[in-house]
Amino acid sequence: MDPACPSESIYNLIPSEWKEPPPPPRYISVFKRAVQEDMKKSKTAMKTMGPPKVDVPSPKDFLKKHSKEKAVPPKKKFDRLDTKKPPVPLRTDHPVMGVQSGKNFINTNAADVIMGVAKKPKPIYVDKRTGDKHDLENSGLVPKYINKKDYGITPEYICKRNEEVKNAQEEYDNYIQESLRKAAMKRLSDEEREGVLQGLKKNWEEVHKEFQSLSVFVDSLPKKIRKQKLEEEMKQLEHDIGVIEKHKVIYIANK
């Protein structure tokens, strides 16, 4: 009998009640314990939620009635006999009558106006035909900055900075001169540099003149080679001329 096949039995013909299979076991990562330990290491007491333990208030310190109301200042004693205002004049008191001033206020005011300095009108400017007036002093149209005593004078801090830059450049030049002297380098003078530049320009003119004398049709291999050679010479001369014109200081190695 094949062991894979069940034995024949009449009880196998009776349908049995279906039972739901048990669920598979829940997945648990093998790194769970390592992650928990790392989380415990990174946590710090009182880092985000405050101290872990807080003093519990005493039951005797409960909120009492009117404890948060503002305190009223103490009452002052009222005295009816204390008089703060001057007394009312008596019925028998009479004001001084008949006192007049001999000053002529009209003439005095007229003399003050005539002898006084006339008030200068406030400078204004009008920018529209409708008559909109604006203050001229703060408009930028008055040349008040160029009339200052220190206008056009270089500030002291800029002079100091220029002096520092000049000293630094001199120190750098001295360092370069010393380094070049140790490395056996020679600096071209202005006359030598100008002579080399003029010679290169003269050579370029000669090559350019020879290039212009070529035939229009380049139909043979020797002509093409000669044209390419002249073009390369002109490009090299132009490059050398540009380098010398760009750099004022040129150093060459001593042979």
What torsion do the CA atoms of 34, 35, 37, 42 make, to the nearest 10 degrees? 140
Residues 109-128 pLDDT 10s = 999 988 988 888 888 888 88
Based on its alpha-carbon atoms, the radius of gyration of the chain, rounded to whole angstroms, reads 55
Beta bridge partner(s), residue 185: 253
Locus of tokens 């004049």? 89
Q: Which residue has the higher pLDDT, 226 or 5?
A: 226
Residues 208-240 pLDDT 10s = 988 888 887 778 888 888 888 989 999 999 998
The answer to whether 180 and 251 have CB atoms below 8 angstroms apart is yes
Q: How far apart are CA 193 and CA 247, in angstroms?
A: 10
- For residue 7, the model assigns a pLDDT of 65
pTM exceeds 0.75 for this model: no
- For residue 213, the model assigns a pLDDT of 86
- For residue 128, the model assigns a pLDDT of 80
Cα 137 to Cα 131, 144, 229: the distances in Å are 18, 9, 72
Q: How far apart are CA 42 and CA 225, in angstroms?
A: 78
- For residue 254, the model assigns a pLDDT of 65
Report residue 208 as tokens: 């350019």
- For residue 6, the model assigns a pLDDT of 56
**In the predicted model, what is the mean pLDDT of the chain?**
83
Q: How far apart are CA 216 and CA 231, in angstroms?
A: 15
- pLDDT of 158 strictly over 90: yes
Average pLDDT of span 193-218: 87
- pLDDT of 4 strictly over 60: no
pLDDT tier at 83 (50, 70, 90 boundaries)? low
Residues 28-72 pLDDT 10s = 999 999 999 888 887 766 565 666 677 788 888 888 898 888 888
